[in-house]
Every structure is written in C-alpha cells, then in structure tokens.
A and B are shown apart, each in its own frame.
Chain A
C-alpha cells in the first residue's frame, strides 16, 4: 500500500456515495472508466470514506474494520464487557474518562477521527458480547476533520435503532461529547493581548480592564495561545501545564538514553497494536500534544534541565496543520529555543524539529529513528543535572 487510503477501481460500483461522504472533495467519479478516483493531494486520511462504501472497495492502512475487530478480540479475553471508543481529539483524561462512563473496567479504543468508525464495528462488538458501548466524540463544530463527528452521530443513531429493534436495551450504545478547549484564569490574566492577536479562530475577545475572554464555541483547542500567555493564565483542557511538566520529568527519568519527543497527535496515527502498550520503549519518552502549536518552551527547557540529552518536536507539515497555524508556531518556537539553548551553553542541535504526517506511511517512525541516529552521532551530552563538577 503506497498511500494510506486506497480505492479499488476493479470493485468500485460508481454509486457516488464516497465522493459525497468525503469532507475534502478528494474523491471524484471518473466518468470514462466509471470508477471513484482519489486525489491524494486533497485527501486528509480521515478515513470517513471507507465505512461509507457499501461494497468495501476502499482500503485504509490505519484502523480498518478487521484491525478494529481484531483489537477488540484481543482485549476481550479478561472478561471486560464495556467498550469505550473515543476520538483522540476529544479524549478526556483517564480520571475524567472513568467519571464520564461510570465504570472503572473497560476496553479503551482510541482512533484519530470518530467519523471513520464503521457501523459494522458497533454491531460486531455487541455480537461479541460487549454489553455497553460508550462513544466519546467531539462536538460537531469542533471536529478537526470537519464532518467526522457529524457522520458518526448518524451512524450511532442507526446503530441504536437497529439494536433496539432486535431487542437490545436502549442504553447499549451511548454517545457522549467532550471538547478540549482553552480557558482563561481571569485572576492571572494581565491583558497583554497575545492570545487575542494569535488565535487562528478568532475565539478571543478582550474585555476591559484588559482581561482575555475565550469563547468555548469558537475555540478549537489548538493551544497556540498557551505558550504565548505571559501571565500563564490560559490552560488547555487535558494539556495543562503542571501535568505535562510532571510527565516531562517522568519521561526523562524513565528513558535511557534520555530522549524526549513532543509529538502532535495529528502527525502520526499509531497502529492499534501499539496504542496501549503498557511498556513504552525504554529509549524514547513520548509526550502527545493536541497540536504542535501547544509546544511549550518551558517544557523543553525543563526537559534539558532534568537531564534530557535530546528533544524532538514532531509537527505536521505547515500546509497540513489540522489547526491552521499550529505547525507554523512550532517551527518559529523551535528556532528561538535553539538560540536560547545555545546562549545557556547547550548544543542547539540537541533540539530538533521534524515534520511527519500519516499521509506518508511510516514517516513518524522514520522521524524517530532519524532523531535517535542524530543524537547518537552527537555523542554523550554534558547533562545539566551533572554540571561540570
């Protein structure tokens, strides 16, 4: 498979459903050959088209129905009967997740866009003995793939109806919403106006006497404003400063050699098989960000202060940023951070930024390998925690 979405021309029946389902107008019908054709330039790999195809003529590299089913089978061995499916863009913290669904034991299934869930997977899960399915989706106007949340709502309603018709309880499938937006601590805001000037979604207004106000309806949760907030007054839900700080510390502590990766969640679609690996790789610490725009210079400095030998920021290519300007800001910040690190006496090459995208199969894994190799070539770092003494 060269591209993560593949339409089989031989099987296509020219039903014209997939061009209508695609939020990016990336599929057209070739009227001469009577087949649907994918424009790879326009495709954003949301995967919404695949379950829309009535004859399964669209293959997806990430999270295809068989993989979803296989993952479920592998997790059902210990008798869990509750499945929680959530969009990575709206996944609550672990504690909040337990609170939202009301049970502590469940099978978690994270996917990049809830819109790619096939109706069949809901039915398969129930058939396999799952008693309750919770789906945590973004608000429809918050979907980073434009129409994913909306597409899923329709599918969920259908699943509920079908299951009820054949005698399952009406709460077998439950749809929950969660949006991860930024909030301002009004007591800490100093009214500098940075968030107001930089928000790509015009979600910020300034109130007298210089207090920022973020409209939760307009905020898309990119977190670009957070590292620019000079009063440290803005927190992005689930990417709050302190917990990320602790995670940075823990990841530096855990890994050997001490390499930390800050990665945009849209720059890689991890395969199901390794989403929930209990044993993370020992040589690389990973911190997932909602968007590379959330990369906080303080966290990078803290990583080095705690003894990191290298830090990698993984961002999407600028033109593919799911949140408009996040990648652009990440690039800018990496440059200024390099200069600061050099002033402090740390080799700026120890901070790297690389671009990755799920559009290119394996690009994230390659980026990690490349980074590890680069750090190896730089040799052992003079660690801050050791000093020269």
Chain B
C-alpha cells in the first residue's frame, strides 16, 4: 500500500486561511495508515476547533471516497457534496490530491498528508517499510523475493557492496543489508548458485527516466491480447 503521514495541523491551517467552508475527503483505498471516515471526521473537528480558538468562523464537512485515485468514483462521490465548499483537504496520497484537483473544478484541493513510499505493514513491529520502487521491471524471481531496487540503499543489482557489515547497511546501522537478506534467503532455499549470476545493467527506461509513465488499463487478466 501507499504509506502516508499526516501533515502538522498548523501547515494544513495555513493552506486554509481565508476559506469558509471546507470539505475533508478521506480515502478508503490503499493509504496506510488508512484515512477513512473516522480520520476525515477527526481532522474536521480539529480544524473547526483550531479556527474557533483563533476567532475564525469556519464550517467543515467530511466524507470518504472508496478510492480517490479513480476519477469517476471520486467525481461521483464528491460532486454531490460540493455545495458551497470553497476548499477541499484530501486525506489520500499525492495521486488522490491530483485526481480531486482534476475533477473538482470550483474549489482548490490541498494535501492533508505527505506521501512517503510503497510499503508493507509489519503489525508486530508497529512499522511500515518500503518494499517496491515501481521500477517497471520486476526481478524478484532472481532475488529470492527481496527487492534490491527498493531495499538496497544503492539499488545495486549485483550486491552486496563493501558497506555491508554484520548484515547491516553502512547508511544506517539499524537497516538490514538487502543483499545479505537475499543471500540468506537463497541459501535457505538451496539456490545460492543464483548469487554467481551477473545481472546486466538495469534498463531504467521503464522507471521514471522516460517521463510520466502511463499505460492503457487492463480491466483484468483476460483483457490482455493473447500471445498465441
């Protein structure tokens, strides 16, 4: 899921200065932590309280969208509740903020959050950590299911480097060396010979180097043109 963090209230309040009716839009999609109805309501209450304490009269409303990153869903959910709204705070990732900006013509849309990365949730540890860099060319089959692009500080394809010490990365003593993890996992799977294969120079054209990435949407696997 997409990991986000809430912006400080003060920063959000600075966007909203001068606005009178504010809609807080939660997102039930893949935000982590999830920012659904409850979070939208909490922020609405906080904005209202903070405004009143500053002597400003502000009206807030709140709702949530199943996923803000779908323009049709976002438009159909939000356009009926936009009456009189002169500012929107999106509790989605950066994608949702942009989609709302596209579909809501009459009011500015402000980000309620910072978008951090794509990651997994480790419930026991109480952490979320980066797992995928969306490079567009998945090599997890060769790296025992551990991504060196996202998890090696240098995104090395042939690791580890000299900065790997006692299984940790030189960048941060708390950080596991991704290539140590790959090595250990391959060993456990009896596939250590994989380490001997030299991976070719990465083709970054499938990543952000080719400009804004876009692709025709397949509705499902069966939509794909068959190869045979």
Residues of A within 8 A of B (CB): 188, 190, 192, 194, 197, 227, 229-232, 297-298, 301-302, 304-305, 340, 343-346, 382, 384-385, 387-389
Mark the stretch among B36-44, B128-136, B214-222 that contacts chain A: B36-44
The 8 Å CB contact of B34, one of A190, A298, A301, is A190
Q: How far is the CA of A192 from the CA of B66 in the complex (A)?
A: 12
From B10, B36, B41, residue with most partner A Cβ within 10 Å:
B36
Q: Is the CB of B50 within 8 A of A298?
A: no
Which residues of the partner chain B approach A230 to less than 8 Å between Cβ atoms?
A: 26, 28, 33-39
Per DSSP, chain A at the interface is loop
The 8 Å CB contact of B38, one of A197, A231, A343, A344, is A231
Question: Closest Cβ of chain A: how far from B11's Cβ, in Å?
Answer: 10
From A188, A304, A384, residue with most partner B Cβ within 10 Å:
A384
Question: Closest Cβ of chain B: how far from A117's Cβ, in Å?
Answer: 40
Which residues of the partner chain A approach B53 to less than 8 Å between Cβ atoms?
A: 344-346, 382, 384, 387-388
Q: Is the CB of B48 within 8 A of A305?
A: yes
6 examples of A-B residue contacts, CB within 8 angstroms = A230-B28, A230-B36, A232-B38, A232-B41, A301-B46, A345-B50
Q: What total count of A-B pairs have CB within 8 Å? A: 78
Interface flag for B55 (CB, 8 Å) = yes
Against A, the Cβ 8 Å flags (1 = close, 0 = not) of B78-121 are 00000000000000000000000000000000000000000000
Other A-B contacts than A232-B37, A344-B49, 5 sampled, CB-CB below 8 A, are A190-B34, A230-B33, A231-B37, A302-B45, A343-B9
| Closest A residue by C-beta to B50 | A344
Question: Closest Cβ of chain B: how far from A124's Cβ, in Å?
Answer: 49
Q: How far is the CA of A387 from the CA of B55 in the complex (A)?
A: 5
Q: Is the CB of A194 within 8 A of B46?
A: no
Q: How far is the CA of A345 from the CA of B42 in the complex (A)?
A: 15
Question: Closest Cβ of chain A: how far from B219's Cβ, in Å?
Answer: 16
From B28, B49, B55, residue with most partner A Cβ within 10 Å:
B49
Residues of B within 8 A of A (CB): 8-10, 26, 28, 33-39, 41-42, 45-46, 48-50, 52-55, 64, 66, 123
Q: How far is the CA of A38 from the CA of B71 in the complex (A)?
A: 67
Which residues of the partner chain A approach B34 to less than 8 Å between Cβ atoms?
A: 190, 192, 194, 230-231
Q: How far is the CA of A384 from the CA of B35 in the complex (A)?
A: 25
Q: How far is the CA of A382 from the CA of B35 in the complex (A)?
A: 30
Q: Is the CB of B55 within 8 A of A298?
A: no
Question: Closest Cβ of chain A: how far from B44's Cβ, in Å?
Answer: 10
Q: How far is the CA of A389 from the CA of B56 in the complex (A)?
A: 8
Q: Is the CB of A229 within 8 A of B38?
A: yes
Q: Is the CB of A298 within 8 A of B42?
A: yes
The 8 Å CB contact of B45, one of A197, A305, A382, is A305
Which residues of the partner chain A approach B9 to less than 8 Å between Cβ atoms?
A: 340, 343-344
Which residues of the partner chain B approach A304 to less than 8 Å between Cβ atoms?
A: 49
Q: How far is the CA of A197 from the CA of B36 in the complex (A)?
A: 17
What are the 6 A-B residue pairs with the smallest beta carbon separation, nearest first? A230-B36, A192-B34, A190-B28, A343-B9, A388-B55, A230-B34
Q: Is the CB of B45 within 8 A of A343?
A: no
| Closest A residue by C-beta to B6 | A340
Q: How far is the CA of A305 from the CA of B41 in the complex (A)?
A: 13
Which residues of the partner chain A approach B33 to less than 8 Å between Cβ atoms?
A: 230
| Closest A residue by C-beta to B56 | A387
Q: How far is the CA of A254 from the CA of B52 in the complex (A)?
A: 22
A298 and B37 in contact, given A343-B9, A345-B50, A382-B53 (Cβ under 8 angstroms): no
Which residues of the partner chain A approach B123 to less than 8 Å between Cβ atoms?
A: 197
Question: Closest Cβ of chain B: how far from A49's Cβ, in Å?
Answer: 39
Which residues of the partner chain A approach B39 to less than 8 Å between Cβ atoms?
A: 230
Which residues of the partner chain A approach B41 to less than 8 Å between Cβ atoms?
A: 232, 298
Question: Closest Cβ of chain B: how far from A245's Cβ, in Å?
Answer: 11
Q: Is the CB of B46 within 8 A of A340?
A: yes
Which residues of the partner chain A approach B37 to less than 8 Å between Cβ atoms?
A: 188, 230-232
| Closest A residue by C-beta to B53 | A345
Question: Closest Cβ of chain B: how far from A248's Cβ, in Å?
Answer: 12
Question: Closest Cβ of chain B: how far from A296's Cβ, in Å?
Answer: 9
Which residues of the partner chain B approach A340 to less than 8 Å between Cβ atoms?
A: 9, 42, 46
Which residues of the partner chain B approach A229 to less than 8 Å between Cβ atoms?
A: 38
Which residues of the partner chain B approach A305 to less than 8 Å between Cβ atoms?
A: 45, 48-49
Which residues of the partner chain A approach B48 to less than 8 Å between Cβ atoms?
A: 305
Q: Is the CB of B10 within 8 A of A343?
A: yes
Which residues of the partner chain A approach B38 to less than 8 Å between Cβ atoms?
A: 227, 229-232, 298
Which residues of the partner chain A approach B64 to less than 8 Å between Cβ atoms?
A: 190, 231
Q: Is the CB of B36 within 8 A of A301?
A: no
| Closest B residue by C-beta to A344 | B50
Question: Closest Cβ of chain A: how far from B112's Cβ, in Å?
Answer: 13
A301 and B49 in contact, given A388-B54, A388-B55 (Cβ under 8 angstroms): yes
